[in-house]
């Protein structure tokens, strides 16, 4: 069956995103990344699949931060899920400083207000990173 003009890329993005998410959640981030690289169009949902479902779920903060820089450098604006995934990955991946910096600048940079969930991620990040709570007291 032929799809109307423009529908093929939407279908491919949706199916591709589902595969990225599935592979990431199963711990197969190499296949998740391979599918992500083949997507015809990327949007915040597809980026969240590779960031949150792929590398953040595995605690790979270094690659999460690289992908986030690529995402925002290409003009894509992160959303609530993106920031929670990145802050959580920083918490699990020993990058407390970067997670806290993102948290303290997210309203200014992206217009997203801190929420209870983000505060919890930051507290975990600082605790895991050995900050001793200095960042929270300063904030």
Average pLDDT over residues 119-132: 64
Record the pTM.
0.76
* pLDDT tens figures, 21-55: 888 888 888 888 888 888 888 888 889 989 988 78
Integer CA distances (angstroms), 46 to 16, 33, 81, 122, 135, in order: 8, 11, 11, 24, 32
> For the chain, give me the number of helices (H) and strands (E)?
8, 0
How far apart CA 26 and CA 74 sit, in angstroms, is 28
Phi–psi pair at 136, nearest 5 degrees: -65, -45
pLDDT surpasses 70 at 70 = yes
40 CB-contact burial (10 Å; exposed 0-12 / middle 13-18 / buried 19+): exposed
Question: Tell me, which fold does domain 8-138 have in CATH?
Answer: 1.25.40
Residues of the chain with pLDDT > 90, as a percent, come to 16
* pLDDT tens figures, 80-124: 889 988 988 888 888 888 888 888 898 899 998 887 766 776 776
pLDDT surpasses 90 at 72 = yes
């Amino acid at each position: 069956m032929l799809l109307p003009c423009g529908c093929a890329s939407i279908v491919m993005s949706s199916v591709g995103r589902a595969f990225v998410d599935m592979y990431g959640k199963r711990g197969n981030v190499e296949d998740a990344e391979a599918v992500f690289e083949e997507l015809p169009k990327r949007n915040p949902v597809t980026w969240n699949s590779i960031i949150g479902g792929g590398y953040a779920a595995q605690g790979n903060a270094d690659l999460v931060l690289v992908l986030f820089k690529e995402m925002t450098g290409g003009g894509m604006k992160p959303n609530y899920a993106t920031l929670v995934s990145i802050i959580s990955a920083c918490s699990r991946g020993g990058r407390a400083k970067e997670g806290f910096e993102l948290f303290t600048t997210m309203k200014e940079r992206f217009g997203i207000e801190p929420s209870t969930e983000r505060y919890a991620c930051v507290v975990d990040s600082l605790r895991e990173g050995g900050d001793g709570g200095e960042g929270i007291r300063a904030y």
